Amino acid sequence: MVIHKYDVYRTPNVGLFVRTNDDTLLLPFGYAETKTKKLKEYLTVEKIIHVSVAGTRLIGPMTVMNNNGILLPSTVSDEEIRILKQSGLSVERLKSKYTAIGNLISANDKGAIVSNLFKGEVDQDIKDILGVPLQTMSIGGFVQVGSMVVATNSGAIVHPKADDAEIDRISEILQVEAEPVTVNGGSPYVSSGIIANFSSVIVGTLTTGPELIMISRALKV
């Protein structure tokens, strides 16, 4: 397992445009072939799927994904769903008014943390598609828990304003150790600057040496 520094579309906010699990990498339509190959090599995935989500290339904020399934906003098109089903995973729209669901849900193959904005209305859909138990919470007073937690099956990193009780609860839900970390030189919204799976971690190029050390330790890379 290794960690790499990388830019996507000349921005260090790599998590905005990419979503991965241990086998499949989702990238926007038209992403350069040479760069696609590099990301595939870094993450050691088998499948590459080029797709838009609700007509945008903001794949990270618009999706939730683990090794069991992919959750999508209600605004996704039938054609986009058809393309994503090439992954072999369960793929489903989340029947909610919220579209940036990747900012509101964080999951690995052991559990899911869900924003209390949903008020329990989509709990069963999340469980069915991702195949994991879930708990609803906020972190540091914020509801955007998907933007504040990045989890693999090895570890998790969390917004630095999470208190000790919240970190313990996140660790319990996801069944991995969680640690507070920043990315890209101090950004607390960690999902914007990190792409991670069991094999590898990619971070934005503004990520500092101390941040790299903390991310490596937390995600066991």
In the chain, what are the domain boundaries? 2-219
Q: What's the confidence (pLDDT) of residue 2?
A: 85
- CATH topology assigned to domain 2-219: L-arginine/glycine Amidinotransferase; Chain A (3.75.10)
3-state secondary structure of 178: strand
Strand partners, 85: none
pTM (2 decimals)? 0.96
Mean pLDDT per 10-residue interval, the chain, length 221 residues: 91 98 97 96 96 98 98 98 96 96 98 95 95 96 97 97 97 98 98 96 98 96 87
Q: What pLDDT sits at residue 120?
A: 87
**pLDDT number for residue 1:** 60
Compute the Cα dihedral for 121, 123, 124, 128 and give only its sign: positive
Q: What is d(CA 134, CA 94) in angstroms, rounded to the nearest whole number?
A: 15
